[in-house]
Amino acid sequence: MRRDLLALVWLVGFGLATGAWAAAIVATIDRPEATVEDQLLLTVVIEGSRGARPILPEIPSFDVYPQGQSTQMSFINGRMSSSVTHNYLLVPKAAGVFEIGAVTTEVDGEILTSQPFQVRILEASAQPQQRRELFITARVSTTNPFVGQEVVYIWRFYRRVRIGDARLEPQKFPGFLVEDLGEVREYKRTVNGVEYLVSEIRKALFPQELGSFVIPASRLTCEVVLRDPRRPRSIMDDFFGAARTETKVLRSGEIDIEVRPLPDPPAGFSGLVGNFAVEASLSKQQVKVGESATLRLKVSGTGNVPLIGEPDFAELPAFKIYPDQPERSINRSGSSLSGSRTFSKALVPLQPGDWVIPPVEILYFNPETATYQTARTAEIPLSVSPAAGDEDLHLTESIAPNTGKVAVRILADDILPIYGELDAVSRSSDSRRSTLLFLLALIAPIGLYFSARFVQQRRRRMRHDLAFQRRRGALRRARRELDRVAGLDPDPEAMAQSASLCLRQYIGDKLGLEGGALTPSELDESLRAQGVGEALSSETRDLLERLEAAHFGAASLEAGGWTQQVATLVKRLEGELKR
Amino acid sequence: MSRWWTSSLFVLAVLTVHASGLYAAQQVETVTELPSVELQGGLSRARATEVFLKANSAYKEGDYAKAAEGYQRLVGAGFDDGRVHYNLGNALLRRGELGRASASYLRSRAMRPRDEDVRANLDFARQSTKDAIEPPEPSEVLSTLFFWHFSLSHRELAVGLLTVNLLFWSMLGLGLVWPHRELIRWTSFLLLVLLLTLAASLLVHRFADRPVAVIVPQELNVHTAPEESSVVRFKVHAGTELRVQDQRQDWVRVSLPDGQQGWVSEGWVELAYR
């Protein structure tokens, strides 16, 4: 860092006018010989340009991991030189002698190339393991399994240095059904006198097809903490991350597996490969007709346990059989896959007698002996006694043994009988009539209420509003008065006077005035003001004037004529004033 | 007082609109019931009694076809009493027509919601269905909270409404005579609440009730669209009750309790209201 700073100061001080040194590229490897479990460090130094990037050749025999770059600058005799170092980690894929081709780069339009060189990669066993600080191994329980046979794959990571940030690439197992065997196990193990910390992963592999398969190499990348021998390790190193680390890529070998076919399977082969057993048990061996006993069939073993199916069970005509949901348990914690599946059935005997539950068999292939084997249960006797006399009528089961009371069981069910009442057809529903009746019944009380309310309001008004009272009773009073006058006095003059008074009173009642005190022309005006037509009001005035004239003997007319004329006029006025 | 008027007149308007609808719905129900029986005009009451007695004796003699025909004739002529529907359901069930029997029991239950016999026979019919599908019924909480809605028939609700209506307006009438009596005021208020409740119940029956489609044939394809050529989504069997979501021309959209829907031809189902 200080050197970089110094370089910067020099750069500022002398300016950029000074030319750079001639450009060059150099590729070097840290060692010419290694094993497949090692890794090599390829260093590419480009001088004379800080921006140039190296182009690596095709290196098919190695996995290449870029490890970053560093820049150096120096001034010698007033000339500036700069170089960039690129680091790559090369992890060999196989043993052999390989050539690392020329690394190229372009500086100011000039193509530069490095010298190619050779690397020799030895087999892993060429170097004793105990000399290494960390390595991984992968092995299988057998490389020549039968189809369906369990192959246990064991992967171990040995280390005796501190590491961090370990990353295991996901492992692939083409051609196999894979079941994990528990979590990662950690333990210590001494190999050739050296103690290692070991992480172990186990998987159960089941080959699905015949042929040759390769389990590819597994690869683990981790950071190894480097120790400075001159300085004791401090807890602060961990805390501040000050410890230097180095990336390591570990690789296990590939594993070749040749899958063998099973010998010709006999009829009834269950498809199970491994070591299996079957057992049967009955919950009780003495039952009555109608009671149930539970038969449990348990198939257990090691091998391809996920494939355990229900064994064939002979038909039992004397029983009704109700199967239950099977239960499954798989044990993954052991060194290989084991487990069981239990099938339960409720057997309900239909007839009394001494019956035998026949043996149940499963046929499986045992890869250890390479033969087909049969696991079989023993026969189970079952004694069925007849249901006790009275209980035939209502099959019962004890629900409270202490009291001896029993729950009634319904034997059979049927629909209830039909209705016979004749009033079921007493009424025919006519929807239109029903709607009408419904509406009427709904509206009638409302109508009645409003009528009552109207009558009440009217009565109240009549009681308190005198003008209203006069107005409402005007016609009635006028008619009564006219009738009385017509029958009372035959004198034309008196009759004219009475008729005139009657008409004026009627108009007065209608208009809320004192009618008897008004002149014909005043009445005429008042009528017009109330909206009575001009013709009718003039006619009223004329009649009144003529009646007055007759009263004072200026005109002569028949008495009946006056009352009739007044009655007609009142009728017309009533019609006009109502409007 | 003017608030009383507003609410009362509102109730009146709503009910008047509703009343025609309610009876129109009942009329539709009667017609859809009997696709196969000729409606031969009205039957006199004496003739209806004779048909009923003959059908009953045919049933007792085991001639269920004849019995069913008699009951159907009665229903078609407007004698759609809940007991006639129940008897018809029995005759159809005895003949093995599970779907139509269930529909008859459902109609009977709509008219006699508290009849234990109807309930028992409907349960029996439901137990005989092949599909493990719960019939569309209101939840227990709902039917307890709104007991009057679920345990009174349409007719009972209508009669109740008329009675409460009469009482309410009579009480308002008494209020005219004694305008300041608290008792009258509170009774009117309570009656108005009751009136609104019953009216709401009738309205719900009229507008919110969806019919139930009861499957008639032994097995019926439920299609994705209202066309015979469309994909068959699932199959249902005789007597299964499905919720009706929609009706279009001659097709009915039905749904399972889990929400799965499909279309069936209307001719293969019987529609019944709760």
Checking if the pLDDT of B59 tops 90, the result is yes
Backbone region of residue A271 per phi and psi (left: phi > 0; alpha: psi in -120 to 50; beta: other values): left
Whether residues B163 and B230 fall in one domain: no
Residues of chain A in contact with residue B91, where contact means CB-CB under 8 angstroms, are 418
Contact A422 B26 (CB under 8 A): no
Interatomic CA distance for residues B84 and B70, integer angstroms: 10
Q: Does A429 touch chain B (CB under 8 A)?
A: yes
Q: Which two tokens stand for residue A560?
A: 């009946």
Q: Identify the weakest region by mean pLDDT among A266-270, A367-371, B181-185.
A: A266-270
Residues of chain B in contact with residue A441, where contact means CB-CB under 8 angstroms, are 162, 165-166
* Maximum Cα–Cα distance across chain B: 72
Q: How many CA atoms lie within 13 A of A485 on its CB side?
A: 27
Interatomic CA distance for residues A481 and A502, integer angstroms: 7
Ramachandran angles phi, psi of A458, nearest 5° = -65, -45
Q: How high is the pLDDT of residue A394?
A: 38
Whether residues B14 and B149 fall in one domain: yes
Q: How high is the pLDDT of residue A389?
A: 47
Contact B23 A456 (CB under 8 A): no
Q: Identify the weakest region by mean pLDDT among A386-400, A415-429, A503-517, A534-548.
A: A386-400
Interatomic CA distance for residues A135 and B261, integer angstroms: 62
Average pLDDT over residues A247-262: 86
Domain span holding position B115: 34-128
Interatomic CA distance for residues B183 and B188, integer angstroms: 8
pLDDT tens digits for range A314-346? 878 888 887 777 888 888 877 788 899 998 888
B positions 120-159 inside 8 Å of A (CB) = 120-121, 124-125, 127, 158
β-bridge mates for residue A62, sequence order: A92
Helix (H, G, I), strand (E, B) or coil at B254: strand
Of A414, A420, A442, the CB nearest to B19: A442
Q: What is the ipTM for the molecules in this complex? A: 0.74
Checking if the pLDDT of A248 tops 50, the result is yes
Whether residues B40 and B121 fall in one domain: yes
Length reported for chain A: 579
Checking if the pLDDT of A269 tops 80, the result is yes
Contact A20, A48 (CB under 8 A): yes
First to last CA, chain B: 39
Checking if the pLDDT of B126 tops 80, the result is yes
B177 located within any domain: yes
First to last CA, chain A: 116
In CATH, what number is assigned to the domain containing residue B53?
A: 1.25.40.10
Interatomic CA distance for residues B42 and B48, integer angstroms: 9
Q: Does B117 touch chain A (CB under 8 A)?
A: yes
In CATH, what number is assigned to the domain containing residue B227?
A: 2.30.30.40
b/e for B170-194, b at 16 or more Cβ within 10 A? Answer: ebbbebeeeeeeeebbebbeebbeb
Whether residues B89 and B115 fall in one domain: yes
What separation in angstroms does the CA of B61 have from each of A422, B48, B67, B84, B85?
19, 20, 9, 18, 19
B26 located within any domain: no
pLDDT tens digits for range A560-572? 577 788 888 888 8
Checking if the pLDDT of B20 tops 50, the result is no
E-only strand ranges, A232-349: 245-251, 255-259, 269-282, 286-288, 293-303, 319-323, 327-331, 338-349
* A2-125 CATH, one of 3.40.718.10, 2.60.40.10, 1.20.58.100, 3.20.20.70: 2.60.40.10
Whether residues B94 and B41 fall in one domain: yes
Q: Which two tokens stand for residue A510?
A: 């209608």
B86 located within any domain: yes
Which comes out higher in pLDDT, residue A235 or B116? B116
Domain limit, last residue, from B72, B104, B128: B128
Distance, C-alpha A117 to centroid of its chain? 61
Nearest CA to CA, how far is A465 from chain B (Å)? 20
Residues of chain A in contact with residue B169, where contact means CB-CB under 8 angstroms, are 445-446, 448-449
Checking if the pLDDT of B28 tops 80, the result is no
B28 located within any domain: no
Q: Identify the weakest region by mean pLDDT among A363-367, A519-523, B23-27.
A: B23-27
Which comes out higher in pLDDT, residue B146 or A486? B146
The total of structural domains in chain B comes to 3
B204 located within any domain: yes
Nearest CA to CA, how far is A460 from chain B (Å)? 12
What separation in angstroms does the CA of B8 have from each of A539, B163, B192, B206?
51, 15, 8, 21
Q: Closest Cα partner for A436 from B19, B31, B158? A: B19
What angle (nearest 5°) sits at the alpha carbon of residue A391, between those of residues A386 and A393?
Answer: 110
Q: Which two tokens stand for residue A18?
A: 């000074």
Average pLDDT over residues A275-303: 87
Query: At the topology level of CATH, where does A269-385 sit?
Result: Immunoglobulin-like (2.60.40)
Q: Which two tokens stand for residue B260?
A: 């799965």
B134 located within any domain: no
Whether residues B40 and B103 fall in one domain: yes
B136 located within any domain: no
Whether residues B99 and B183 fall in one domain: no
Average pLDDT over residues A172-194: 86
B199 located within any domain: yes
Contact B79 A427 (CB under 8 A): yes
Q: Closest Cα partner for A225 from A238, A213, A214, A208? A: A238
Interatomic CA distance for residues A440 and A462, integer angstroms: 32
Contact A415 B170 (CB under 8 A): no
Q: Closest Cα partner for A151 from A252, A254, A255? A: A255
Q: Does B176 touch chain A (CB under 8 A)?
A: yes
Domain limit, last residue, from B169, B188, B208: B208
pLDDT band at A126 (very low <50, low <70, confident <90, very high): low
Instruction: Report the chain B residue with the minimal C-alpha distance to residue A414.
Output: B124
Interatomic CA distance for residues A499 and A560, integer angstroms: 10
| pTM listed for this prediction | 0.45
Domain limit, last residue, from B128, B159, B182: B128
Ramachandran angles phi, psi of A563, nearest 5° = -60, -40
Q: Which of A391-395, B4-8, B194-198 has the highest mean pLDDT?
A: B194-198
| Beta pairing class for A361-366 and A269-282 | parallel
The rounded mean pLDDT for chain A is 80
Assigned CATH for A128-259: 2.60.40
pLDDT band at A386 (very low <50, low <70, confident <90, very high): confident
Nearest CA to CA, how far is B9 from chain A (Å)? 9
Residues of chain A in contact with residue B12, where contact means CB-CB under 8 angstroms, are 442-443, 446
Q: What is the 3-state secondary structure (H, E, C) of A367-431?
A: CCCCEEEEEECCCEEEEEECCCCHHHCCCCEEEECCCCEEECCCCCCCCCCCCCCHHHHCCCCCH
Nearest CA to CA, how far is A378 from chain B (Å)? 39
